[in-house]
Structure 1
Amino acid sequence: MAWNVFKFCTALRGLGSIMILLVLGVVGVSYYAVVITNYGPRLAAGGLGSLIAFSILIIFHCLLVMLLWSYFSVVFTDPGCVPLGWRPAVDEEKGDTDPLTMTEFPDDKENRKIRYCRKCNHLKPPRCHHCSVCGRCVLKMDHHCVWVVNCVGALNYKYFLLFLFYTFLETTLVSLSLLPHFIAFFSDGEIPGTPGTAATSFLAFVLNLAFALSVLGFLIMHISLVTANTTTIEAYEKRTTAKWRYDLGKKRNFEQVFGMDKKYWFLPAYSEQDLRRMLALQGLEHPSKPDSNMQQL
């Protein structure tokens, strides 16, 4: 029997606040090591060292603001739930409103019917899945993330991707800026600062390097999912499907997540115009290929 990762996540439901504190703890250690201990005091030294320190601190704080903004946007933004009494716009004379009894991605056009959640007792929009951790259906659900104590779905997927992006940039910057101190820790030369500050710099370097490497893997995976206009769940479930109806090309696939307004691409927010004109951002309607042999679920 396949291992159900979501049942494992259910056991971690009570650790939500701890995970947030852990993220903030890593941020705090990094801030102390980079700003308070190492590069902050160098600002008064003057010369090239002061200019380098100033540049590192500016970039560090900019990335930190974007990281925290994206993180708490994921945490506090509802991923999207099915509206009360939602019903699809289908031809009921063809029997399309019957619940699904087959796989969620059937190849037989005649058997393709509206999906129904027996746990929530309501119809499910396209690309909607039930989360066993949250106990409800989530629009365009990607996965339940214990790090953000929330589901990642239609309304906060962009914020999650930006959180990964800025986390990778921030942890890489911290790792590179603390690398000389890490090397000095194992050298025979004199280690600047007190033993406590040296230990903090060492810990911050190790933590940030580990996060940078792990986040890079997740970031690469999700970039590939975005370019194919699929989610983590859908990537697993459509393995036997020859074609994917929602793959509209890399550019349009990207816009389905980040919107069409380029000014908002790197911000955890959407323009009002994008929210009005792009129904896919709301998680209920998703454009698909105009293929007569395939229709939306």
Structure 2
Amino acid sequence: MQVLVNLIRVSTTDPGIIPRSNEQETLELEGGGSSDGTRSKKVTVNGVEVKLKYCRVCKIFRPPRSGHCAICDNCVDRYDHHCPWVGQCIGLRNCRSYVALVISALIFFVYIFAFSCWILHRKNVHGFIGMVKTCPETLALAAFSFNAIGFLGALAIYHVYLIAINQTAYENFRQRYVGSKNPYDRGILSNFKEVFLVAVPLPKVDFRAEVVAKLHLVELSETSYST
């Protein structure tokens, strides 16, 4: 049950989508920039200079640690990765639920594997052929659970390691801090506290307001057409 709850939370929670700029902001940014078409800003984070990249799709300077997801076509705050298993980006607002999903799924499959082995032992089946003939469904479940444990175990260890050093999978994959200081690393305890104990920030995008605005435009177009 806990696995399903965490799955629903991860797949339905806004990962931290950053709003795109409005028309006025876009005009101001398009009028700026360097002569070669590149745009960048620099900010200082804990004494380390960090470069802010300009997103040509969202027309914004992305905040530190954010990234643009090519699949979702959105800039996400503290972008970790796009998870194909849940069909959702993993970012600032759902990272905690994602780690909980991986760990709870790992515990669930460990239980299934142990229970399957207990069933095989209880039926006193000897040899692989005997298990296939007597209880093939239990054998298949044990084999599937064993593979799932290996995959989820490695994934859980990797993300716990990333939390301990305060890096995202995106930063770690691109080796963002190799040879330089990680300005976000504040120690193992503080890093875990930042992920699991700090309140989740409110979403920056009001999806309901956007739908209402579109409905209002439809009503105006229908009114003008009827007149």
TM normalised by structure 2 equals: 0.70
Contact 2:10 2:98 in 1 (8 A): yes
C-alpha contact (below 8 Å) 2:113/2:145 kept by paired residues? yes
SS at match of 1:137: strand
Identity, in percent, stands at 24
Structure 2 counterparts to residues 7-156 of structure 1, below 5 A: 65-85=1-21, 99-100=39-40, 109=49, 112-156=50-94
Matched, 1:215 2:155: no
8 A Cα contact 2:69 2:75, kept in partner: yes
Look up the equivalent residue of 2:12 and give its one-letter code: F
- Correspondence for 1:187: 126
How far apart are the structure 2 equivalents of 1:248 and 1:200?
A: 49
TM-aligned CA deviation for residue 149 of structure 1: 0.8
1:165 to 2:100 alignment: no
TM-score w.r.t. length of structure 1: 0.54
SS of residue in 1 equivalent to 2:40: coil
Helix, strand or coil at the partner of 2:82: strand
Is the 1:114–1:123 Cα contact (8 Å) retained in structure 2?
Answer: yes
Distance 1:122 1:243, change over 3 A: same
Assess if the C-alpha contact under 8 Å between 1:167 and 1:215 holds in 2: yes
Partner of 1:224: 161
Q: Rate the CA distance shift 1:258–1:282 in 2: closer, same or farther, 3 A.
A: farther
CA distance in 2, matches of 1:84, 1:253: 29
CA displacement 1:135-192 (0-9 Å, x = unmatched): 111111111111111111111111110011001111001101111334558616xx89
Using the alignment, how far apart are the partners of 1:233 and 1:283 within structure 2? 21
Alpha-carbon separation, structure 2, partners of 1:177 and 1:158: 29
Number of residues of Structure 1 aligned to a counterpart in Structure 2: 184
Q: Secondary structure at the match of 1:246?
A: coil
Are residues 108 and 125 of structure 1, via their aligned partners in 2, closer, same or farther at CA, if it must alter by over 3 Å? closer
Long gaps (5+) in structure 1: 1-64, 88-94, 261-273, 276-280, 285-297
1:253 and 1:282, CA in 2 relative to 1: closer, same or farther beyond 3 A? farther
Q: Is the 8 A contact 2:119 2:138 kept in 1?
A: yes
Partner Cα distance (1:180, 1:113) in 2: 56
Moved beyond 3 Å, runs of 4+ = 84-87, 180-186, 281-284
Aligned with residue 188 of structure 2, among 246, 250, 257: 250
1:210-240, Cα deviation, whole Å (9 max, x unpaired): 1111100010000010011110011133143
Contact 1:154–1:282 under 8 Å retained in 2: no
Residue aligning to 1:204: 141
Q: Is the 8 A contact 2:40 2:61 kept in 1?
A: no
**What is the alpha-carbon distance in structure 2 between the residues aligned to residue 152 and residue 200 of structure 1?**
35
Q: Give the strand-richer structure, 1 or 2.
A: 2
| Deviation of 1:282 (Å) | 5.4
- Extract unaligned runs of 5+ from structure 2: 26-32, 205-227
